[in-house]
Structure 1
């Protein structure tokens, strides 16, 4: 009888212990202690406000593809529909999901369904930049005053063909003479 009581007490104590099995993952931590590395998953097409502004109803499929790229989804059962889907999951950044639906009438774009909160290119880059670098952006263009202050390019005489090195050969023409 005493062994039965001890056994029941031991089993009751086990129910209070935390689970330590290989599949014990809660949230972002394994065993409540370790944060594993998560692979960055990027799928689909990034479509920014600037790109979507360049797409207008009446454009052909080729013109739309030139601006937005190939759609992620083209359905053989709905040939008039292109889906541009974008998802990204990165550590240190909020996950992003966007879906843009383009509808065609024949070869012409007829309708654009897009979310109102599409980011600009700069906003998108800032949202995925987990490495927050401080400092100013690099200067990419010269002002007109800086261009005028540059020395003019040096013009050199047209270089003549260099003298061939080694023996020169004279080959007969490839086509027979008539």
Structure 2
């Protein structure tokens, strides 16, 4: 009879505590999708770079819209195992001759980005 009370009490305590601590014991892999964007590579970007030079630094873009071939989107999505997902993006604009003219997004350009000859 005594063991039934112990089992019942442990079941009640387990149901009240929830499964949050059990969930942390389960291994979850980090999920990386899209472009891996390194801040040091972004700092090397300069006005006037060609599309080939940008592709050499950052790799191919994640998205180039068919109607706007001079706008490149680099998107990085990271979902660490038990943490909240994080998404960063970098949008580069080129002129009609294929030279870099603009940059916006979650990354800061280096000082050389603004010093290039226009």
| TM-score normalised over the length of structure 1 | 0.43
Question: 1 or 2, which has the higher helix percentage?
Answer: 2
Q: 1:110 aligns to what?
A: 101
Unaligned runs of 5+ in 2: 1-17, 110-118
Q: 1:12 aligns to what?
A: none
Question: Aligned partners of 1:104, 1:117: CA distance in 2, in Å?
Answer: 18
Q: What is the CA distance between 1:77 and its match in structure 2?
A: 1.4
Question: Aligned partners of 2:29, 2:76: CA distance in 1, in Å?
Answer: 17
Question: Aligned partners of 1:87, 1:80: CA distance in 2, in Å?
Answer: 23
Question: Aligned partners of 2:30, 2:38: CA distance in 1, in Å?
Answer: 20
RMSD of aligned alpha carbons:
2.2
Identify the match of residue 96 of structure 1 among 65, 86, 100: 86
Q: Which structure has the larger Rg?
A: 1
Unaligned runs of 5+ in 1: 1-31, 119-178
- Runs of 4 or more, structure 1, over 6 Å off, are none
The number of aligned residues is 87
| TM-score normalised over the length of structure 2 | 0.63
